[in-house]
Chains A and B, each alone.
Chain A
Amino acid sequence: MAEPMKIRAQLQGDVVDVKVLMNHPMETGQRKDPQTNQTVPAHFIQTVTATLNGRQVLAAQWSQAVSKNPFLGFKVKGGKAGDKLVISWADNKGDKNTTEATVSG
């Protein structure tokens, strides 16, 4: 199980500004390990979902072109301090991660 995501969810007016940092190698499947000279198999996050107070606000699909340790930013209108945000990802090997955060005012 990967490390929890770092999530910052801040209310600006009535918009929740969300920033997420995930821990993932995001291997493209094209890189060669410099020591073994073997191609490192593709390993990357494919789907990400976000819910605010249980309602889905974002569903993303990613390719291996998203950078290592991915960053995701989005904004949701109509939020308030204390709202519960849940972010989940799943990668091409079936690994998953879910992290919760609370919207700060």
Chain B
Amino acid sequence: MNELRRALLKGGTAAGTVAVAIAAGLMRPSQVLAAEWNKAAFDAKSVSDALKGIGAASPADSKDILIKAPDIAENGAVVPVEVTSRIAGTQTIAIIAEKNPQPLAASFDLSNGAEGYVHVRLKMGQSSNVKVVVNAGGKHYTAAKEVKVTIGGCGG
């Protein structure tokens, strides 16, 4: 499958390759492959470089992006982040843990009825903003929520 994908992504003859693949029974017509992993964006060491990497250099603040994440993480290695975008035509949701060594954590392309909603669990080494960037119709929107990562103990 990897070879097929490389062929698809590299070739100027991509359309033709798909047609061949379908004809050969390798792919069902509606099956689509994952986008190539965005190395530049995921390797970025700063939030601004990560934003550039996903083509969203200066997103606009939005109140229609709801981020549900714990105020205090139960475990910095497993921080649930639930994003709901109420922005019409939400196509992509990207999640950035601002203080991680490589801030961009995940990006989701949504299509064919998928709602503006994703839920993942992330590693966070320290207290940090979780920033979400939504692409809707080529425009970028953002919101953030702070998650505290603590040593623990001593309660109650």
A interface with B by C-beta (< 8 Å)? 15, 19, 26, 28, 30, 46-49, 51-52, 54-68, 70-79, 88, 90, 92, 94, 96
Contacts and interface: CB of A to CB of B under 8 A. Distances in A.
Given A57-B112, A79-B113, A63 B42 contact: yes
Given A75-B115, A76-B114, A67 B82 contact: no
A99 to B, nearest CB: 15
Contacts of A72: 118-120
Contacts of B114: 57-58, 74-77
Contacts of A15: 115
Contacts of A67: 77-79, 120-123
Interface of B: 1-2, 28-35, 37-38, 42, 77-80, 82, 97, 100-102, 104-115, 117-124
Given A59-B35, A61-B42, A77 B115 contact: yes
B108 A60 contact: yes
B118 A28 contact: no
A57 B33 contact: no
B45 to A, nearest CB: 12
Contacts of B35: 47, 59, 61
A58 B113 contact: no
A90 to B, nearest CB: 7
A60 B107 contact: yes
B82 to A, nearest CB: 7
